[in-house]
Amino acid sequence: MLKCDKCGEEVHPSNDAVLVAMEAGTISMVGLLVYGSRHFLPTENCKGSPSRAQYIEGQPRDTRGFVYNEEDEQGWRDDAFARVQEKYPLVDQ
């Protein structure tokens, strides 16, 4: 697992903002090399990626000035985030 560029802790692929962004089509595979890894949803020691996580049900809107676009919500939540969760389950069975 790669380490988060914000907090330095390991990021499980199911909670990796860069992998979710790749699934959403907002960055390419090169983005993983350029951006590294970052928590998507907040963890105990990391704020995660509020600008992306704001599209997931139950997450607060990003208050740092990133525009919330309702049209993007479906793609992030139901498509990209769900696919990453399916590809990288927290517990291997």
Residue 8 in any domain: the answer is no
Residue 24 in any domain: the answer is yes
Residue 1 in any domain: the answer is no
User: Domain total for the chain?
Assistant: 1
As beta bridge partners, residue 4 has 37
Residue 2 in any domain: the answer is no
Is the separation of the CB atoms in 27 and 64 below 8 Å?
Answer: no
Does 20 score more than 60 pLDDT? yes
Does 84 score more than 60 pLDDT? yes
Supply the pTM of this predicted model.
0.80
Residue 8 pLDDT class (50, 70, 90 cuts): very high
Residue 5: which H helix or E strand, with range?
none
Residue 93 in any domain: the answer is no
Q: Which domain holds residue 47?
A: 13-87
